[in-house]
Amino acid sequence: MNIIKKAGLLENFLLQQKDKKIEIGFVPTMGALHAGHHSLLQESLRRDDLTVCSIFVNPTQFNDPDDYEKYPSTPLEDIQLLESAGCQVLFLPALPEIYPEGLSQLRQYELGFLETVLEGKFRPGHFQGVCQVVHRLLNIVMPDRLYLGQKDFQQCLVIRKLLSLVHLENKISLQIMPTIRETDGLAMSSRNKRLSPQARAVAPEIYRTLCYIKQNIQSGNTRELIQQGMTKLEKAGFKIDYLQLASADTLHPIEVWNGEENLVVLTAVFLEGIRLIDNLIVR
């Protein structure tokens, strides 16, 4: 595997590859890789001629400095996982490669409603940071396909919007891959590494609650069902940012469901101060 740290070097390398008319897949990550990331890589390796993975813990998307400082880092294991998966290129930039002009006066993106709800509401500035880093990475890599995980459902919609804002929607095809879970249902996440054994034992209740909502939903008013879900989570010891049903197409909140509209249930909770998110397509 080619490990490249400089944006210019990666651009040159990829330009040579593009001359050979090959298709490039891109998997951006923040490292501490797990089977969820691996599934994105595998899909790219299956479909593309060349797979580029990036590892960069992006400071501008963290609204909580403590979360940024404690974000897990396992570089040696990550390189091993990428090597054994067959990934051809790892982009491992330092901060100035991504933000050559520093962190002030960064571009702001018109994300509209999408950044006012759910993650956008509880993590102000988060999606601006996500767009800043992804836009920069896309300009460097300019892949044919970009692989993202449904685990970060709202992020997928934000990146779709970003692609259209920067007129890349016809150049880069967005591939959204299913959420990979532990055998007990907990969505794989780099942050799971920070959970104590006690918290890890409680954490699958997130998925069980989402499944409970999916199994019991009926058209009409959904408020009581959501309330039941909240009570389950609170009893298990979670502090809840949100548990909400929304349109799977627009993320507009849905309280009264017509039984037809595409629906997703999304949640963000804290356990021992560690923030975990998950979602399930209901229909």
Where would I find the H helices in the chain?
7-19, 35-47, 65-69, 75-85, 95-98, 119-122, 126-141, 153-165, 197-202, 205-216, 223-236
Phi, psi of 91 (to 5 degrees): -95, 120
CB of 82 to ligand AMP, least distance (A): 13
CB nearer to ligand AMP: give 68 or 228: 68
CB nearer to ligand AMP: give 7 or 159: 159
Give the pairing of strands 173-177 and 145-149: parallel
Please say if 135 is a catalytic residue. no
Beta carbons within 8 Å of 235's beta carbon, 6+ residues apart: none
Catalytic residue among 34, 37, 38, 126: 37
CB of 199 to ligand AMP, least distance (A): 17
Q: In this structure, how many other beta carbons lie within 10 angstroms of the beta carbon of residue 74?
A: 16
CB of 135 to ligand AMP, least distance (A): 15
CB nearer to ligand AMP: give 39 or 222: 39
CB of 187 to ligand AMP, least distance (A): 5
Which residue, among 188, 194, 200, 207, has the nearest Cα to 149 in the 3D structure? 188
CB of 152 to ligand AMP, least distance (A): 4
Q: What is the contact surface with ligand AMP in residues (CB under 6 A)?
A: 29-30, 36-37, 39-40, 148-149, 151-152, 177, 179-180, 187-190
CB nearer to ligand AMP: give 111 or 188: 188
Tokens of 259: 């039984």
CB nearer to ligand AMP: give 233 or 277: 277
Which residue, among 267, 264, 269, has the nearest Cα to 246 in the 3D structure? 264
End-to-end CA distance of the chain: 40
Phi, psi of 101 (to 5 degrees): -100, 15
156 touches 176 (CB < 8 A): yes
Instruction: Show which residues are catalytic.
Output: 37
